[in-house]
Amino acid sequence: MSRDVIATAKSTKWLPSQRWTWISVSLLQMVLIVALEAVIGVHFAKLIDTSDNNVNEGSGKSIVLYLFIFCFSQVFQVYLAVDAALNQNVIQVIAHSIFVVCLFTFSVFQFFQIREAYMIALDNDNLLVDPTKINFQTHLFPPLLSTIIILALLAIFYAYWAYRLYSQFDWANYRRVGADPAIQSIFRLYQTFIVLLKLDFFFFIAFGLQFLVLVRIKNVEFALTIFAIPGLFVALLLAFYAVRYENRYVMAFWFLGLLLAVCYFTYKIVRIHSPSQYPKYEGSGKFLSFFAALSLVMIFLSLVTSVLCARNFGKGLRDRLDAKPSRWNLFRRFGIGGSKDGTANGRGSGGGGYNSSTPPPNASIDFPLDPMGSGGADEPVQHPPSDIMPQIPSSPAYDYNGNAQRNISLVI
């Protein structure tokens, strides 16, 4: 057995501890940052009036909303971390690290925006308490600075840990779609698109929530935002379906949705910087511009990745994914999708694999019943065709599925 294969097999022995370290740090980050944001929110509410009647509404009411969005972002980053670790998705691990860098940038914006809101309230004599008792320097500066430092250190940690997880998670991709370099490249592009959809969801929802709070109910922008949020959710689901099951017609609707999103966010940016709207966005325009810019970047990346994924339709990735589908596939749970011939993929009524009624080429059916119990009671095990998994080492150190055996040290 080659040294590279032995090294990869040995590395899988301590992979779970790395994954749980990644998840644990992510959970710790959420607890610390949410606690700090709660402290910031309590002191800010004591200092500045955030009611609708406040003349400083743009700096007060909007800041409270951004504190909430920042807390929501911590929950979202935990989801990214857990989902990436459990599914061994190397692309999402990298995306999570980049997302934490965005949170660090957000924390810097938050520091200056809250300081600006405090100074505006102080100049207008709008503070609710005596500034000698509660003020920015003694009550807001420490938690704001702590948030920036923690996220900066965590961004460095995640970058290092992502590097450590890269080779182990790449091995999982090798086992799932095979050793064909072309299929590996297509699969990475597919994973990138799925991760972009998740990030689209966060940035679009966060941007929409801001306008639901900052825009008056009778304004036409409110109705437009109300319509855009559920429409966005449906569009993201359709985009996932189109790429996963290689449906060009649904993908065309997704392209149309992206073009509409470009128009929507461009219109919002123009409104934010319109002189007539300045009083409404005073103290919040920088945050809104920040989210609008990130949203447009995500739209551009999603558009480019969508085109590249559409060009790869019919090149074999769907067959590999159907042969070993995810247990959390929402569409399969509701009977949507399935194999190319319209039948359900899988042995019997469960799981993935090949159509049990039509054995694939080179399939072996002279084996006993499936030991994992994934098919019917009298159904034999069918092996995948030889072109699906030619990369499995023919070594006693590996089982049929390509998993490294524990007694690796006994192999000569």
- pLDDT score, position 193: 92
Q: Is the pLDDT of residue 216 over 50?
A: yes
Q: Are the beta carbons of 347 and 374 closer than 8 angstroms?
A: yes
Q: Which of 34-43, 269-278, 327-336, 373-382 has the lowest mean pLDDT?
A: 373-382
Give pLDDT tens digits for 69-114: 999 999 999 999 999 888 888 889 999 999 999 999 989 988 988 8
- Mean pLDDT computed over every residue of the chain: 72
Q: Which residue has the higher pLDDT, 288 or 335?
A: 288
Average pLDDT over residues 4-29: 66
What are the tens digits of pLDDT across the range 131-179? Answer: 666 677 778 889 999 999 999 999 999 998 888 877 777 676 677 666 7
In what helix (H) or strand (E) does residue 238 lie, and over which residues does it extend? helix 220-244
Structure-token pair, residue 303: 């558009």
Q: Does the structure show a pLDDT above 60 at 381?
A: no
Beta pairing partners, 48: 127
The distance of Cα 65 from the centroid of its chain, to the nearest Å, equals 22
Quote the pLDDT of residue 4.
Answer: 47
Q: Are 166 and 22 in contact (CB under 8 A)?
A: no
Paired tokens of 111: 């520091």
Residues 250, 251, 257: CA angle, nearest 5 degrees: 95
Q: How far is CA 6 from CA 236, 403, 408, in A?
A: 41, 12, 8
Give the type of residue at 196.
L
Rg (CA), the chain: 26
Give the mean model confidence (pLDDT) for residues 303-315. Answer: 89
Look at residues 92, 71, 70, 73 and name the one whose alpha carbon lies nearest to residue 82.
92
Q: What is the reported pLDDT for 16?
A: 53
pLDDT digits (tens, 9 = 90+) for 338-354: 444 444 443 333 333 33
Which of helix, strand or coil describes residue 376? coil
Residue that wins the pLDDT comparison between 205 and 173 = 205
Considering only residues 53 and 49, tell me which one the structure prediction assigns the higher pLDDT.
49
At residue 57, does pLDDT exceed 60?
A: no
Check residue 227 and give its pLDDT. 80
pLDDT on residue 52: 53
Model confidence at 360: pLDDT above 60: no
Q: What single-letter amino acid sits at 255?
A: F
Q: Which of 61-75, 124-138, 253-267, 268-282 has the lowest mean pLDDT?
A: 124-138
User: What is the percent of the chain with per-residue pLDDT over 90, rounded to a whole number?
Assistant: 20
Q: Where does the pLDDT of residue 282 fall: very low under 50, low under 70, confident under 90, or very high at 90 and above?
A: low
Q: What percent of the chain has pLDDT over 70?
A: 63
Q: Quick one: average pLDDT of 17-39? A: 90
Q: Among all chains, which residue has been given the structure tokens 């929409």?
A: 208
Task: Please write the tens of the pLDDT for every residue from 179-202.
Answer: 777 888 888 888 899 999 999 999
